Homo-oligomer: A and B are copies of this chain.
Amino acid sequence: MNLIDKTLQKITPADSASRAAAHARMERLTMPTWALGRLLDLAEDLSGITGSIKPPVKRKTVVTMAGDHGVVEEGVSKYPQEVTVQMIHNFVAGGAGINVLARQAGAKVVIVDMGVKGDISSLVKKGEIISRSIGRGTKNIAKGPAMTRDEAIRSIEAGIELAHKLSEITDVFATGDMGIGNTTPSSAIIAAMTGCDVDAATGRGTGIEYNQLVRKLVVIQQALNVNKPNPKDALDVLAKVGGFEIGGIAGVILGAASKRKPVLVDGVISTAGALIAHGLCTQSVDYMIAAHKSVEPGQKAALEKLGKVPLLDLNMRLGEGTGAALAMPIIDAAVAILTKMATFEEAKVTG
């Protein structure tokens, strides 16, 4: 059996007994019933995920997956493709948004080359990034499939392997992305997997003007028309209109779920990866936590399909895992409430 199938078999539903025990304790805490709302919902989810009423959440890792996209030759992005590699150097130097926000949250950042176009072998040699490169950028989805089915499988397997390895030092995973042009395949995946219209799935990415947005809509529709991805076959969707880093993100989610670890899903690219994971294994949603509502409109349809409501809504659209890192203190707070707040009996307060 291959690694994907083996991993899917290990993904079981969240533990209902731990959920119930956490729920019962939180109903006795010194506050009006469920008065901390979604903080308590989250604590209950974390109990179900980890199978514990004291969910371990201390060690956090953001896995930021990078890849390039052949479709940028269609003029869908504001920035040139070399920015992907430039930003990887910025990550390594510690100056990017994800570095700053992960440090604030006490999280480790792992940068993975899933298939960027430029040369970053010097960074790989120095051990500053991990290489799981499937190829030097995908092919142009407006003209044909992004990658072969085998490459799609390998991109997901790379994410699974990485999550399995990192799970030894990680309690909470977070996904992130870097790749100029990657809102285009993400929107294509979302339109394909949810059945929503291309315009509902598509936004301005890095901040393109209206004329370029119209061009992007045409390109995404063309990618769907040319490739005809099968929404019942997530591997087909990933291969035809996806990206290497999006496959990697799906793999990290599945790998984390198979180890019963929570995964904070970042913005629209990560949520597209989550749709691929969900397409392969419905049950994997139990392990996903939607970190934040992106400015990108496509994320809405994707989150609805996954049945998730994001924790934060701060008008963000940077990616990299920044929304996931910013949501981490809420995870810590939820667990602290579950484990450290006094009950009515303990505090001798009239319930």
Contact = CB atoms under 8 A, between A and B. Distances in A.
A126 interface: no
Nearest to A79: B350
A30 interface: yes
A337 interface: yes
A337 B80 contact: no
Interface residues of A, number: 58
Interface string A96-124: 11011101110000000000000000000
Nearest to A318: B35
Given A78-B32, A90-B349, A346-B95, A330 B336 contact: no
Contacts of A312: 312
Contact of A317 (B35, B326, B349): B35
Nearest to A33: B207
A39 interface: yes
A317 to B, nearest CB: 5
Contacts of A96: 30-31, 341-342, 347
A206 B32 contact: yes
B32 A349 contact: no
B316 A100 contact: no
A333 interface: yes
Interface centre among A30, A78, A79 (most CB of B within 10 A): A30
A295 B38 CA distance: 11
B100 A318 contact: no
Nearest to A294: B37
A332 interface: yes
Interface string A51-95: 000000000000000000000000000111011001101100101
A79 to B, nearest CB: 7
